[in-house]
Structure 1
């Protein structure tokens, strides 16, 4: 039967029913799709009419293996079926590296990446017989497993050895002849070789001398200009292990070391451990996006357990760390009661509940001084939540203030465990992030109830974005906000299926509690409807409302909603400082209503985001005119990206920037089809206004052409130009324009973005 009018839902049963692909009302609806599948799934639309609801999964990864469920629903029928997807990945051809000589032989190392599951790695002699070798190292990264095994090869009849990697029927191999690498016993030949090498080295040295000297001078100059060696960024010099080892003394002397995505090896981790063990000044270490695996984390831990280690922040996100690595970290920190570590980031790893239990043992230790722990996307479930909550309850002197468990499947039962913790009067958590954790009304009820029962709660920030509380769950949270003892200052409920009813409940609760501490409310990507926006506007009009930041992006707000918001803020201009209305449909008429607000001298807005709001020349003219008429305006940031101001609209904004009373510091006009004429107008305006406050200008994905780039370059050359950040990504700037910009950068500019340009070599 035809499935065109049916609802089709593909999910991962083994990961807590996370959404893989959703089709309904004849279109794909993937707002709740798990982020690991975004852009990689599709149905065969042309085959739906024949009842084919198959899923196309692109760019398959090893993590895609698991139990998938396809559920199909219609008005009169529903059904589902599950399928187990098994992934087998054939890796790359092995690579053999000669590490040196050892005990009269040659030390060889064989590596191969991209296998799934773990393959077998063998060393063979010339006759195909396996030879004894070192232990096989294996580690999982984003592409699968990579394996490594070393061998000390000795002289034989053929001097040929083979590295073979085997997984079932899949076999890959690589050979090496060690003849040229064997230690020499003939000293005469060695002398001849040495002389030849010296002569060749001299010739090569003449060619490369100045290049090497120039590079060394540049590195030295870069290092010397680091302010008191506060921060060291390896990627500025050399991402290789060799580069890191050469600069280890620099790392030791600085306070911050950024070594993210630098291909760190076991040797690198050993060196880092020795740096931490010594009396170094290092307090912050960033190792994000390195394939450390558990084995290399263990090497690092020898430094963490040293009483000399002064590290306060350690970032290990996306490092392929599992249970064993977490156990090593917890053990090292427990062995070092004088540890200075305050922040530990382990997001995007796979410790699972067992690994989290090891970390929980650490949190239970009264000597643990961790204040911030990030475990986003770590395959944590109810059991892991229970362990964390139990540990923190058992340690009344815990220092933990921030806990991030986002992107984990925490059913309501897991949230209840966390709620029990929040109910405890000794709990010192101030910030809890539960972004996209499959929380429903029941979980919200547990959280609200716990916080109401604990009037001395320290919790100030609660992030529940991308969950499923719906209006019923929001009502439970509203009851909490109505309580005069509630001290929440920031509540995030983006994409939580909230309608008019939920908005009304929130607004009513905050109006009933004049002593409310709430300062930031995020309701983006919900469906409040006109009446819901009206309720929120009534709240803003209330003189007791102390909201300073309100996010309503993608809430289908039209002219009517903008009029209500503007009217409310004109009647009560006291507290709101930031208003986010991007991805709505106010059109020029709605923007005019907001412009009337900006024209009011009592308006205290500092940030206004209106990207993707169908704004044309007319809307830009209204905004510019309002800000020119209000010389005392507080507005500092205006985002108009993804609109269509046209040449005349950009000219109006340029006239505003030319006004000496304009205090805008950030202006975003990305993807606004700005051409040469617009760039010239903006550059001219900023040159004519030497007292301009503008510090950040985003013109990404514009079409300035060579002439427009020249105008912007002339602006950067002007000694009065105070721009600190200029974004020109995706502007097709070619070699000539790139050279012009580079030569004329002003003294104030700190950041220049030219991504997706075409400057050639």
Structure 2
């Protein structure tokens, strides 16, 4: 009788305890499952040689101190970084990340489990998984990392004169991914280029060049800005070209030159026709002899050149002597008759 009462007493006390234990375990399990792993919704961009922080946190905010936090890429076992049981593990870490990763623990009590990667390399580009496990509950998020290489400072050179202005070229090399080049005036407005070339070299990096023709009193002061595809930051060089280097053209000077050219053309034509007429008179001199003593002949002689007058004067003298000889001959013939 006593033993049966003892067993019944034990059963009555153990059943409520078992219920409490199961209930608390179930509640703990539900609580451990009530978190999500949150990462950035946009790709993250890093620059080669710099450090980058890959953001990741729990929602709602709770301590991750006693959870497992694993950052990995393609292989779950060979990780980028592993935190578990309150400390970091490096045994199976990927060789290229050794001594280059750090889990930021300053905010781990608030669920911040961001990873810092030191001295970014181009090979670091890709997808990263932020995986968190608490008991049998786990969740993860994926984020993309873009890696950029900033090339050289743009080199601006003045090439030659073109289209009434000065042809200016801007060049830069060592960029990844393909950069964007922009000409800008002092107010920051974009200026149209006349040419642009880009080429990827054997090392995977890009070199680029662009050119512009600047005119006097318009864009004599300008800058060449080259920036990365992912980042707003870039590199810039500026140049100022004094007005004295521009081809100097005065409208009045142009008009004067045109007038002088026209007058020179007329002068050449006049000289040509005068020489042509002089040659014609000399070649046809006998036709002028019958009229050499007339007023018309004298007027013609006075209107031509000095040298023409000399030729005609000689011809006139010859004409006079010729007449005298003919008159003397006629007188002799008459006396003889």
Same fold (TM over 0.5): no
The structure whose RCO (Cα within 8 Å, separation 6+) is larger is: 2
TM interval, short-chain normalised: 0.3 to 0.5
Query: Which is higher, the Rg of structure 1 or of structure 2?
Result: 2
Q: Give the TM-score taking structure 1 as reference length.
A: 0.20
Query: Which structure shows the bigger proportion of residues in strand conformation?
Result: 2
